[in-house]
Amino acid sequence: MEKLKWIDHELKVKYGAEEVLLLPKEYQLLQYLWERPFQVFSREDLLDAVWSMENPTDRTVDDHIYRLRKKLRPLASLLSISTVRGKGYLLKVEEQVHQSPLAEDQDVASSAKVLFHKYHLYGQGKALKVLEENQDIFGFELDVEHQCYLHFMKGDFEWFLKDERSFWDTCYYLMHIYSYIQPDKEKSLHYFTKALAEEKLPGAHRTEIRLLNRLSLLIFTKRLSEAENQLSASKKEIDDRGLHNLYPLTLLTELYLVFLQNDKPAIEKKMKEVGETLEKYPFSREQATFLIMQGIHCFWNHEEDKADRFFQEGFKLFKEAKYIPGLMISLNVILFFIQEFRSESDLFSTYKEMWRDLAFEYRFSELKSQIEYQLDVHLNRKNSSL
């Protein structure tokens, strides 16, 4: 965990529960010293580094150092600015940061995991962010799986391509990211199917792939007969094993299928069932997804303005939950069904433009090629062809 966090857009530094708000030049001066700890800098050195385009006096440095010292008192256990007589100033950084005595307490670690799970289920993105940023204060450290989920949730997809962790820890997330940005869903289905045969894939990931992820891809590749069989098997296993948290997602996925089958009574019945189920399981991501499906229902009924309002409400809920993958999944679903029902609709160009904006922001083209390379290396070892 980092000792000191820099919040550039707010000109803040944060250490544990302490936050210090600085003026622009104070922030720049502290950052310069922080990057060069235990080095002595004269006033002239600091003037050149921080005020290179201005004409301040020597007193400017002294005044800023004075104010910095006062503001940084809450961080005294980590750093301090010392005066070296006749030479200048240096920043001292404490090398040893004392670990919380709770760090080895298994009850604390277990409670943190329960909190994480609850915040995740109910879409409490802000709470997850606080939990992540203050692990040292709360006395625990998130394991690799929880770290992966947090980076995934925030849309920090490039993190998964770094060589700092095992491919098998990140495989599940790489395949999901790939499935959002790869137009050819057959390729995504191929990788999910290959992964099921890999013993190194964590068991929980294998379960979700088997019960849910392949099911949605079977639907979007229009293998409807196979999807129906998988849906029946998934619902039975979820019921037999008591995996109740997966039930709402399974019903939402079933909605995709009934819309493709274009069976009006079945659609109306399933919409009602999903709504009733989400009253029992009010999970934020599932509620946001249901708003998207209510929009699809309106679009199917030729109520395009109403559909658009539901889509926007769903996006808003995903943003409040700080769940970036939800936006990408929803755009995939919206564009898929608009093309299925009425591709000439003005909504198609509206949401296609939104997709292009996301593609630019998250660099889909580069991500796709890099992820595909990783998946090929590890999942296509015996058969390199798709």
pLDDT at 14: 87
> Over the stretch 152-208, which tens digit does the pLDDT of each residue have?
998 999 999 987 789 999 999 999 999 999 999 999 999 999 999 999 999 999 999
pLDDT at 320: 85
- Please state, in angstroms and rounded to a whole number, the distance separating the CA atoms of residues 385 and 379: 11
Q: Are 234 and 211 in contact (CB under 8 A)?
A: yes
Residue 106 pLDDT class (50, 70, 90 cuts): low
pLDDT at 382: 53
Neighbours of 307 (CB within 10 A): 24
pLDDT at 97: 52
Pick from 127, 152, 114: nearest CA to 326: 152
Pick from 126, 159, 143: nearest CA to 202: 143
Residue 383 pLDDT class (50, 70, 90 cuts): very low
| CATH fold match for the domains 5-93 and 156-379 | no
Q: Are strands 79-84 and 18-21 parallel, antiparallel or unpaired?
A: unpaired
Neighbours of 316 (CB within 10 A): 12
The conformational region for residue 169 under phi > 0 = left, psi -120 to 50 = alpha, else beta, is: alpha
pLDDT at 1: 39
Percent of the chain whose predicted confidence (pLDDT) is above 90:
69
Q: Are 307 and 295 in contact (CB under 8 A)?
A: yes
pLDDT at 39: 93
- Please state, in angstroms and rounded to a whole number, the distance separating the CA atoms of residues 164 and 59: 46
Look at residue 380 and tell me whether its pLDDT is greater than 90. no
pLDDT at 361: 93
Mean pLDDT of 98-106: 53
pLDDT at 349: 95
Question: Which of the 8 DSSP states describes residue 41?
Answer: B
pLDDT at 16: 73
pLDDT at 274: 96
> Over the stretch 348-366, which tens digit does the pLDDT of each residue have?
999 999 999 999 999 999 9
Look at residue 5 and tell me whether its pLDDT is greater than 60. yes
Mean pLDDT over each residue of the chain, to the nearest integer: 89
Look at residue 125 and tell me whether its pLDDT is greater than 80. no
Mean pLDDT of 12-37: 90
Question: Which of the 8 DSSP states describes residue 362?
Answer: T
Tell me the CB-side half-sphere exposure of residue 335, using CA atoms within 13 A.
Answer: 17
Task: Name residue, tokens 């010292």.
Answer: 69
Residue 147 pLDDT class (50, 70, 90 cuts): confident
pLDDT at 385: 41
Look at residue 105 and tell me whether its pLDDT is greater than 70. no
Look at residue 344 and tell me whether its pLDDT is greater than 60. yes
pLDDT at 386: 39
Q: At what angle do helices 167-181 and 324-342 cross, to 10 degrees?
A: 40
pLDDT at 288: 95
Maximal C-alpha separation, the chain: 87
Residue 111 pLDDT class (50, 70, 90 cuts): confident
Which is more confidently placed, 151 or 110? 151
Mean pLDDT of 100-127: 67
Query: What's the Cα-to-Cα distance from 49 to each of 4, 12, 44, 305, 376, rounded to whole Å?
Result: 21, 20, 9, 56, 48
DSSP bridge partners of 93:
79
Residue 384 pLDDT class (50, 70, 90 cuts): very low
Look at residue 17 and tell me whether its pLDDT is greater than 60. yes
CATH code: domain 156-379 is: 1.25.40
Mean pLDDT of 311-321: 93
Mean pLDDT of 95-117: 63
Q: How far does the chain reach from its first CA to its final CA, in angstroms?
A: 40
pLDDT at 144: 85
CATH 3.30.70.20 fits 5-93, yes or no: no
Mean pLDDT of 137-143: 71
Domains of the chain, residue spans? 5-93, 105-142, 156-379
Pick from 167, 196, 187: nearest CA to 385: 187
Question: Phi and psi dihedrals of 273, rounded to 5?
Answer: -65, -45
Look at residue 44 and tell me whether its pLDDT is greater than 50. yes
pTM: 0.73
Which is more confidently placed, 96 or 111? 111
